Amino acid sequence: MGNWEENVRKVVPYVPGEQPKRANIIKLNTNENPYPPAPGVEEVLRQYQASELRKYPDASATDLVNAIAENYGVQASEVFVGVGSDDVIAMSYLTFFNGKDPILFPDITYSFYDVWAEEFRVPYVTIPLDQDFHAVLSDYDRPCGGIIIPNPNAPTGITEGRAFYEELVKRHPNQVVIIDEAYIDFGGESMLPLIHTYDNLLVVQTFSKSRSLAGSRIGFAIGNEKLIKYLMDVKYSFNSYTMDSVTIQLGRAAMEDKAYFKECVGKIIDTREWTKQELKRLGFVFGDSKTNFIFAKHPNLDAAEVFQELREEGIFVRYFPKERIKDYLRITIGRREEMETLIASLEKKVQAKSC
Ligand code: PMP
């Protein structure tokens, strides 16, 4: 036996939420949108000619980039698209996080951040959130190679408000600061209006949540032209054709239907607020989520047990067996009926514990 394993890049991979094989699951575990994508998306699928697939896709995804640029009132040269924001963020690590100082991100956050850092050999330090899961600005006042932070944060659902993130960007002019706005459309204040004020600000968003296209894998970054050009250079040095021809058109159709987007996001926000009231009534404790999920704990319930019991009942939520958050469940906002079923089940569990 040789020792070729010495040269293997060994990583502990990110663990995605479970995609159940059974039908009739109430799926509240991966922050998907419970509504279908815009009607124009289905139309693109129906009209698509298989013969088109002979050709390579448009490497610069022009139709999609233009639709995004038009929607946000920026130049096409300020938009970078990738295969989900996971791809966009991975490319951003490769492009911008090459310094010797560690990059910074919160201790409780998207659990892919440390995985990419390990994979790309980027040194990092995690900055603890306070006991209410808020980020503390002054804790980021230290030499660093860059910052990545979600607005609002995941899995907590909490946003710190635009002034906080702006200050972070302002205090680190020599580093790229990535604001991951995967959930911004559900009530946060985007940093997009500031991309011309700060040349070190990169805002990343996704079609996976508010635009119901998790299965198509579309993410994008918006920032000044220079940042985007550097990102493109790295992407074209990695794989030119990451996004397929069909997806480019699906994304364009989704972005163009502004009314449908507003309607779906509005319904999810209403259901979230209803769910908050119900969870509160049952004694759950949680921060003020501005996302399509709620991160909640209950003083009398064991989160790991509830997670398992719900799973057996066909209700999937997310549980992270990690220090500081092991008492919490992350519950995606589904349709109102789905949330009613969840609340009824939780109510029984709470009652059983108080008897
Ligand atoms: N950022 C955050 C904070 C997320 O929760 C997710 C979803 N898992 C992503 C990025 C990646 O989303 P996607 O690759 O589907 O765009």
Ligand 1 contact, 219 CB (< 6 A): yes
**292 CB less than 6 Å from ligand 1?**
no
Q: Residue 272 has what pLDDT?
A: 98
Ligand 1 centroid–CA 137 distance in Å is: 23
Position 354 scores a pLDDT of: 80
Non-local (6+) Cβ contacts of 101 within 8 A are: 123, 143, 144, 145
- pLDDT, residue 125, reads 98
For ligand 1, the distance from its centroid to the CA atom of residue 148, given in whole angstroms, is 13
Q: Is the pLDDT of residue 301 over 90?
A: yes
> What is the pLDDT, as a whole number, of residue 33?
98
Counting residues of the chain whose pLDDT is more than 70, the rounded percentage is 100
Burial of 343 (0-12, 13-18, 19+ CB in 10 A): middle
Percent of the residues in the chain that have a pLDDT greater than 90, as a whole number? 95
| 282: nearest Cα among 344, 220, 204 | 344
Q: How far apart are the first and last CA of the chain?
A: 62
pLDDT in tens, 219-270: 999 999 999 999 999 999 999 999 999 999 999 999 999 999 999 999 999 9
Cβ(33) – ligand 1 distance below 6 Å: no
Q: 150 CB under 6 A from ligand 1?
A: yes
In this prediction, residue 1 has a pLDDT band, given cuts at 50, 70 and 90, of: confident
The owner of tokens 């579309």 is 218
Ligand 1 close to Cβ of residue 180 (< 6 A): yes
CA 236 to chain centre: 24
Output the residue whose Cα is nearest ligand 1's atom 6: 182
> How high is the pLDDT of residue 31?
97
pLDDT, tens digit, for every residue of 21-34?
A: 888 999 999 999 99
Q: Which residues pair with 221 in a beta bridge?
A: 80, 204
pLDDT tens digits along 335-346: 999 999 999 999
C-beta of 206 in contact with ligand 1 (< 6 A): yes
User: 219 has which bridge partners?
Assistant: 82, 206
Taking residues 55-80, report their average pLDDT: 98
Band of residue 10 on the pLDDT scale cut at 50, 70, 90? very high
Name the β-bridge partners of 295. Answer: 330
Question: Three-class SS of residue 150?
Answer: strand
Please report the pLDDT score of residue 223 as a whole number: 98
pLDDT at 321: 94
Q: Is 192 near ligand 1, meaning CB less than 6 Å away?
A: no
Contact status, residue 128 vs residue 107, Cβ threshold 8 Å: yes
- Dist. CA 199–CA 177, nearest whole Å: 10
Please, which pLDDT band fits residue 39 given cuts at 50, 70 and 90? Answer: very high
The Cα–Cα gap between 243 and 208 comes to 15
Ligand 1 atom nearest to 155, measured from its CA: 5
Q: What average pLDDT does this structure show over 277-285? A: 98
* Nearest-atom index, ligand 1, CA of 154: 3
Ligand 1 proximity of 110 Cβ (cutoff 6 Å): yes
Q: How far is the CA of 15 from the centre of ligand 1 (A)?
A: 12
CA distances from 320 to 106, 263, 294, 326 (A): 16, 31, 14, 6
Dist CA 23 CA 9 (whole Å): 37
CA 190-109-229 angle, to 5 degrees, is 55
Q: What is the pLDDT of residue 253?
A: 98
Report the alpha-carbon distance of residue 255 to residue 116 in Å, rounded: 28
Residue range 71-130, pLDDT digits in tens: 999 999 999 999 999 999 999 999 999 999 999 999 999 999 999 999 999 999 999 999
> If you average pLDDT over residues 151-162, what whole number do you get?
98
Which helix (H) or strand (E) segment holds residue 276: the answer is helix 258-281
pLDDT of residue 15: 86
Ligand 1 centroid – CA 183 distance (Å): 8
Task: Report pLDDT digits (tens) over 127-154.
Answer: 999 999 999 999 999 999 999 999 999 9
Index of the ligand 1 atom closest to the CA of residue 209: 15
Q: Which of 32, 86, 178, 216 to mutate to test the pocket of ligand 1 (most atoms within 8 A of CB)?
A: 86
Instruction: Judge contact between 100 and 145, C-beta under 8 A.
Output: yes
- State residue 154's pLDDT score: 97
Is residue 208 lining ligand 1, measured as CB closer than 6 Å?
yes
Q: Is the pLDDT of residue 16 over 80?
A: yes
Q: Chain-centre distance of CA 255, in angstroms?
A: 17
Q: Is the pTM of this model over 0.85?
A: yes
Mean pLDDT of the chain: 97
Question: Could you tell me if the CB of 228 is within 6 A of ligand 1?
Answer: no
- Residue 153 alpha carbon to ligand 1 centre in Å: 11
How far, in Å, is the centroid of ligand 1 from the Cα of 347? 30
Query: In terms of C-beta distances under 8 Å and separation of at least 24 residues, what long-range contacts does 119-126 make, across chains too?
Result: 119/9, 119/11, 120/90, 120/93, 120/94, 122/93, 122/97, 122/98
